[in-house]
Structure 1
């Protein structure tokens, strides 16, 4: 009787441990999903601000300079598509924002040819706000993708994958950017040139270094003859 009771207690303990583990994994999935959704909402807010700033940039450009209409049309169309992609998910939004990035790069390249536009304070302020917004979007993207990576990894590990199927959780999409300018590592070439003096080339073998004085060419000086007895 005692052995049977021990077996029953062990089985009950194992069941309780299994249930607690399943509940813990389920709750972790739910917390990660909520964190991902919240981090995406932060990105979405910054993207909305970005779209508003682009609209203001277009209006200021129209009012202050005879800008190339084709370039403006490309920006307006790309912005419209990005706004329309709102709510379609990170993957679709990322593709629309990528097209908008290309249109904006062309826009700012053309804007460099208009001195009166570059001197416009409204245009300059909008550019600065655009840079700040881009930085916040980039930081939000890194945070979001990090959470998605941790969340999606659990779908490929046991036993959390079983809990994901039981709880009807689904993998999340990454918010990716295919712009090589964003993905490329910053180049530091020439960044520290101002901290060091100009480089002095190494002279060939047998020649004096640059900046050293060389004895004058010519015959050696005459020496006094020895005295006679």
Structure 2
């Protein structure tokens, strides 16, 4: 009778262990998705603000049509990238971030634009959204770190395939978005 009780206890402990591992995979994935949804909300606010910003700049920088078109094209590309494809969305957002930096560089060349109340208001709103995005990205990257660490370390790595572990990429700036924007009106 004692060997039967020992076997039952081992089976119960193993079942509890496996349930705990499975639940941790599910929790980590859901926390990452929650972190991504916070970024997605801020991105939607940014998408809504960009056309207003472009229209304000258009009046001052008529010959900067290509810069403004690049911003709109990058916005449209980022908006059309499915939110579920996190890696593609990150790439599209990095491209949009780079084009937005070029539109702010235009304000340096146009003092009237730099003093325009609408432009200043839009720039302030965009700065607020960018700060929210930064916080959301940090939270998201923290959840990705926790998820990936658990899925790639012991004991998670043993059960990753069985429990459909999903590796997520960090939301990092690409090399192009780290460079300073160069504006030349010569």
- TM tier, smaller: 0.7 to 0.9
CA distance in 2, matches of 1:88, 1:37: 9
Name the counterpart of 1:191. none
SS of equivalent to 1:166 = coil
Change (3 A) 1:49 1:94: same
State how 1:72-151 maps to structure 2 within 5 Å.
72-87=68-83, 89-151=85-147
Residue by residue over 1:29-66, the C-alpha shift from the partner in whole angstroms, topping out at 9 and shown as x without a partner, is: 11111111111111001011111111110112224553
Following TM superposition, where does structure 1 have runs of at least 4 consecutive aligned residues deviating by more than 3 angstroms?
63-67
Contact 2:25 2:151 in 1 (8 A): no
CA distance in 2, matches of 1:124, 1:59: 13
Match of 1:177 among 165, 173, 176: 173
The RMSD of aligned alpha carbons is 1.9
Change (3 A) 1:62 1:180: closer
SS of equivalent to 2:106 = helix
Structure 2 regions of 5+ residues with no counterpart?
181-186
Cα deviation for residue 16 of structure 1 reads: 0.7
CA distance in 2, matches of 1:127, 1:181: 21
Match of 1:62 among 52, 58, 69: 58
Change (3 A) 1:126 1:67: farther
| Count of matched residue pairs | 178
CA distance in 1, matches of 2:151, 2:73: 39
SS of equivalent to 2:83 = coil
| TM-score, length of structure 1 as denominator length | 0.72
CA distance in 2, matches of 1:88, 1:18: 34
CA distance in 2, matches of 1:71, 1:171: 36
Contact 1:61 1:67 in 2 (8 A): no
Structure 1 regions of 5+ residues with no counterpart?
183-229
SS of equivalent to 2:164 = coil
Name the counterpart of 2:6. 10
Residue by residue over 1:183-218, the C-alpha shift from the partner in whole angstroms, topping out at 9 and shown as x without a partner, is: xxxxxxxxxxxxxxxxxxxxxxxxxxxxxxxxxxxx
| TM-score, length of structure 2 as denominator length | 0.87
Contact 2:42 2:129 in 1 (8 A): yes
